[in-house]
Homo-oligomer: A and B are copies of this chain.
Amino acid sequence: MSDRKGKANLEDIARQAGVSKMTVSRVLRGGTGFSDDTRDRVMATARQLGYVPNRLAAAFGSDAASTLVGMCVPRLTSGLFGHVLDGVDRALSRLGYQVMIGANNHSTEEEEAWVRQVISWRPAGVILSGRSHSPGTVDLLRNAGMPVVEIWDLTTSPIDMSVGFSHHDCGAEIGQFLLRRGRRRAGYVGALARADVMGQSRLDGFQAALSGGGHPLVGKEVLSDTPGFYAGYYGLETLLARNLHLDVVYFHNDEMAIGGLAYCQARGIRVPEDLGIVGWGGMEAASVLPKRLTTTVVPTTAIGKAAAEALVARLRGEPGADVTVIPTRLVPGETA
């Protein structure tokens, strides 16, 4: 056994089984061109030597052999993206791929830095979150010539493929829903400001719908904090302190909306009578609250799965749509 780290390689197996390296390679990859007898002998030898394949060598030697997929999310601590990641990982690992992760913290520069790193591993493909990227990122990916899936926020002109839904439509749908329910003085509580392009899209859609219905947004409060429970709590406190006589507040996401609900409960504000509360995302907690949160449920796992499958389909040369819509669902709860 050639003993760089004491590991057996194809050559060791070949020698011991009395065949060539290439035959061993073919057998282990489950190809054709060998007899049943040879296959059994090679397999037995490989097992006996404790052979651990070297994907590094395989991917290096042949551009087609990489089973690595890069996936970049805005934040690893987001509950929603945890589910997306889970969907991606389940689908890909079942097909023999491995996932390399990254977080861009809602920054296109950080995303570009990550893409630069991940590309240096010559992955089979890359999954990005969102549809706004730096020119450098787009260049790098175009040049790399590998499948790219942009998820979460749908785009009709993707770098390569897009899987997700329209954030703008989500916001608009909620706006129209609230108008139908008779709400007239809507506010918004968000976080991360310009950084989160997709949250901004929802707000844009929301505002457009409200204005279109003749009752434009009355006030908004956008913190530069992490969009979590705290930010929802204090964001609502700040917004209400401005005495705008709001009758409903749309939140950046469910976490923040639940923070808002906590604030209402603490201050004796009745929901939905005194104030309506609406979230976005569809986290599990939202449905076991004393009052079920009105929100948009996003099929996170399905998006991850669809992205992974689109990527693999392209790698296999199967035909597939460039744009896949995974619809969200407005779930009227008891808070608006």
Contacts and interface: CB of A to CB of B under 8 A. Distances in A.
B52 A140 contact: yes
Nearest to A110: B93
B284 A56 contact: no
A7 B122 CA distance: 11
A79 interface: yes
A269 interface: no
Contact of A103 (B55, B89, B140, B143): B89
A136 to B, nearest CB: 10
Given A76-B85, A230-B284, A284-B230, A121 B98 contact: yes
A224 interface: no
A53 B122 CA distance: 10
Interface in A103-138: 103, 114, 116-122
B82 A79 contact: yes
Given A50-B143, A56-B59, A284 B89 contact: no
A86 B82 contact: no
Interface stretch (A150-158, A188-196, A257-265, A325-333): A257-265
Interface of A: 4-7, 50, 52-57, 59-60, 63, 66, 68, 75-79, 82-83, 85-86, 89-90, 93, 98-103, 114, 116-122, 140, 143-145, 228-230, 232-233, 255, 258-259, 262, 265-266, 284-285, 287-290
16 contacts: A5-B144, A5-B145, A6-B143, A52-B140, A52-B143, A54-B60, A68-B100, A75-B86, A76-B83, A76-B85, A76-B86, A78-B82, A229-B284, A229-B288, A230-B288, A266-B290
